[in-house]
Amino acid sequence: MSQATGELARRIDELMPRAQADLAELVAIPSVADPRQYPPEKCREAAEWVAAAFARVGLRDVHLAETPDGSHAVLGHRPPPPGAPTVLLYSHYDVQPPLDAAAWASEPFRLTERDGRWYGRGTADCKGNIVMHLTALRALGDDVPVGLKLAVEGSEEQGTGGLEQYVPPHADELHADALLICDTGNAAVGVPTVTTSLRGVVNVVVGVEALRGNVHSGMFGGPAPDALAALIRMLDSLRDADGGTRIDGLDCTGTWSGAGYDEGTFRTDAGVLDDVRLTGSGTVADRLWSRPAVTVLGIDCPPVVGSVAAVPAAARARVSLRVPPGTDARTAQEALVAHLEAAAPWGVRVSVERESAGAPFRADTGGPAYAALDQAMREVYGKPMSFLGQGGSIPLCNVLATTFPESEIVLMGVEEPRCLIHAPNESVDPEEIRRMAHVEALFLRYFADSRSSGRRPR
């Protein structure tokens, strides 16, 4: 480690109490971007906190920009030194609701230290990444070798697309040579990783009608077609015998060539019960990141409590399909619709409502930003950068790729499987904040050097 790098590490170590205090303040703001659940002024409070914090670390014209869905993105910039590139720093300040409060071991909106981790809603997704940015910039001080642009959005978890709609008509505000999308993280604690693949997602609501109304199962059950039974058959047809997704017209045999996902680790991370088998075939990584994956999100049918002896006349279900890179989302949605319609038994009437479609994403990893990031990760973690896929979707990445086709898009951050993002007892390992802040600060230096000299980092 060079003297300059060691000095940077020392500064970040000294800044970690400040990082903890920052995260405690942010976590205490219940910035759930759903006015049906939390007051909208809490999101405004979080946005203003973020704006003030980045203004204090040297960004200019930091302000709140209203986006088309009514949420506020925090935007700002810092001009580049002569000949230097510009880097966009992204994160989001809105969080998921805490869900079952009784399942939390501590107050969701109070930062709590336990077993070496910091617990609270948003500690990892994504307020921990905001703190990572701030810590990296504080460590660099006035010696920031690149231009900076900032975009911290306020409705990412709601999926209402505020920033996605804002970007194209405001491209000049956000254009940069490298875009650090800090809403992912490492394969495991201490394993430096970038996410290079995101699955897209398409949803449909399928309805089945078989009778004019419910009829007595004693008088008519048997020959009377059961709409719920028909729907169950249709949904079951979406999987083969081992539980893998099989949809007519879609390739469900893809393979993953990046970092793997140990099956035992996956079982623990996903909370799979003992003796319950995983579904599908191939490696866990194949199934997670390179193949379509269907999930029945909900069914409308008579509940057990209050049910009566009647043949259901109608039923419906919401079906979600995750789509790997290389598969067009709308094409996949139409294949799902056609499969369900073809699988309907007994001539029942089928209706399908098509919901939104989010495209998959695959990053180009051959540019100078990735080379600079690999160098930074090797220096901080002592091992080379790994490539990871992610089963979730970040539609903003496709908007950015279309709007800025020459820019490099990098997905990274402080998250890892033990964080339990979106679940009760979300947490972050403070060591990941420390290390990733160091990585980011080094990256800004190495990327500036590679772009100004025309050389790839060593």
Peptide bond into 182 cis (omega under 30): no
* Over residues 55-74, mean pLDDT: 97
In three-state secondary structure terms, 246 is coil
pLDDT band at 419 (very low <50, low <70, confident <90, very high): very high
> Are 134 and 370 contacting, i.e. CB atoms less than 8 angstroms apart?
no
Six-digit token string for 373 = 């990031």
In three-state secondary structure terms, 3 is helix
pLDDT greater than 60 at residue 455: no
What are the backbone dihedrals phi and psi of residue 185, each rounded to the nearest 5 degrees, phi first?
Answer: 175, -155
Six-digit token string for 324 = 């790997």
- Reference 92, options 222, 181, 1; nearest CA is 181
CA distance 395 to 392: 10
Answer yes or no: 156 catalytic. Answer: yes
457: Cα separation from own chain's centroid: 29
pLDDT band at 105 (very low <50, low <70, confident <90, very high): very high
Q: Which residue has the tokens 């009566």?
A: 308
| pLDDT given at position 457 | 42
The active-site residue out of 94, 125, 153, 164 is 94
Six-digit token string for 104 = 């939390």
Q: Which residue has the tokens 């991370």?
A: 269
Mutual angle of helices 127-140 and 430-453, in 10-degree steps: 50
The active-site residue out of 22, 69, 125, 156 is 156
Q: Which pairing describes strands 147-153 and 72-78: parallel, antiparallel, or unpaired? A: antiparallel
Answer yes or no: 94 catalytic. Answer: yes
pLDDT greater than 90 at residue 268: no
pLDDT band at 453 (very low <50, low <70, confident <90, very high): low
> Are 148 and 60 contacting, i.e. CB atoms less than 8 angstroms apart?
no
In three-state secondary structure terms, 143 is coil
> What is the torsional sign of CA 53, 58, 61, 66?
negative
CA distance 212 to 209: 8
- Reference 255, options 283, 279, 280, 278; nearest CA is 283
* Over residues 156-173, mean pLDDT: 94
> Are 246 and 238 contacting, i.e. CB atoms less than 8 angstroms apart?
yes
Query: Model pTM?
Result: 0.86
> What is the torsional sign of CA 338, 343, 349, 355?
negative
CA distance 38 to 301: 30
- Reference 379, options 439, 433, 456, 446; nearest CA is 439
For Cα atoms 182, 186, 190, give the angle at the middle one, nearest 5 degrees: 130
pLDDT band at 219 (very low <50, low <70, confident <90, very high): very high
CA distance 340 to 238: 8
Q: Which residues pair with 75 in a beta bridge?
A: 63, 151
What are the backbone dihedrals phi and psi of residue 175, each rounded to the nearest 5 degrees, phi first?
Answer: -65, 135
pLDDT digits (tens, 9 = 90+) for 275-287: 999 999 999 999 9
pLDDT greater than 50 at residue 353: yes
> Are 411 and 397 contacting, i.e. CB atoms less than 8 angstroms apart?
yes
DSSP E strands, 292-422: 293-300, 310-311, 314-323, 349-358, 361-362, 386-390, 408-412
| pLDDT given at position 456 | 45
Percent helix, strand and coil across the chain, each to the nearest 5: 35, 25, 40
| pLDDT given at position 393 | 76
- Reference 31, options 18, 48, 17; nearest CA is 48
CA distance 195 to 185: 7
CA distance 209 to 228: 9
**Number of residues written out for the chain:** 458
pLDDT greater than 60 at residue 373: yes
pLDDT digits (tens, 9 = 90+) for 303-335: 999 999 999 999 999 999 999 999 999 999 999
